[in-house]
Amino acid sequence: MDATTQGRDKAHPAPRGRNARGQGERLRAEIVEAALRLLEELADDQALSLRAVAREVGIAATSVYLHFADRDALVTAALEQCYADLMRAVDEAEEGAADPAAALRGRIALVIAWSQEHPGLYKVLHESTLNRRGDMSFKEEMSARTTAAIQRCMDAGLAPAGDAAAVSLDLRTALHGAVSLRVNQPDAPWPPLDEQMERFLTKLVGIPPAP
Q: How far does the chain reach from its first CA to its final CA, in angstroms?
A: 48
Kindly tell me if the per-residue pLDDT of 4 is higher than 70: no
**How confident is residue 12, by pLDDT bands cut at 50, 70 and 90?**
very low
Query: How many CA atoms lie less than 13 Å away from 209 in the CB half-sphere?
Result: 4
Query: CA distances (Å), 77 to each of 30, 114, 163, 165, in order?
Result: 12, 19, 33, 27
Q: What is the pLDDT of residue 20?
A: 45
**CA 80, CA 161: separation in Å to the nearest integer?**
33
pLDDT digits (tens, 9 = 90+) for 140-171: 999 999 999 999 999 999 999 999 999 999 99
Q: What is the per-residue pLDDT across 178-197, written as a single tens digit (0 to 9) for each?
A: 999 999 999 999 999 999 99
Q: In angstroms, rounded to a whole number, what is the distance separating the alpha carbons of residues 86 and 142?
A: 9
Return the SS3 of 12.
Answer: coil
Query: Would you state the pLDDT for residue 210?
Result: 87
Question: Mind listing the pLDDT tens digit for each residue in 63-92?
Answer: 999 999 999 999 999 999 999 999 999 988
As separate numbers, helices (DSSP H) first and strands (DSSP E) second, the chain gives 11, 0
Domains of the chain: 3-68 (1.10.10), 79-205 (1.10.357.10)
Does the structure show a pLDDT above 50 at 5?
no
18 pLDDT tier (thresholds 50, 70, 90): low
Q: What share of the chain is helix, strand, coil (3-state, %, to 5)?
A: 70, 0, 30
DSSP character at residue 205: I
Cα–Cα distance measured from residue 36 to residue 106, given in angstroms and rounded to the nearest whole number: 25
State the chain's mean pLDDT as an integer. 89
Q: Identify which has the larger pLDDT, 76 or 211.
A: 76
> In the chain, what percentage of residues exceed pLDDT 70?
89
| pTM assigned to the model | 0.83
Choice among 19-28, 113-122, 124-133, 152-161 with the minimum mean pLDDT: 19-28
Phi, psi for residue 134 in degrees, rounded to 5:
-125, -175
What is the spatial distance between Cα 194 and Cα 205, in angstroms, rounded to a whole number?
16
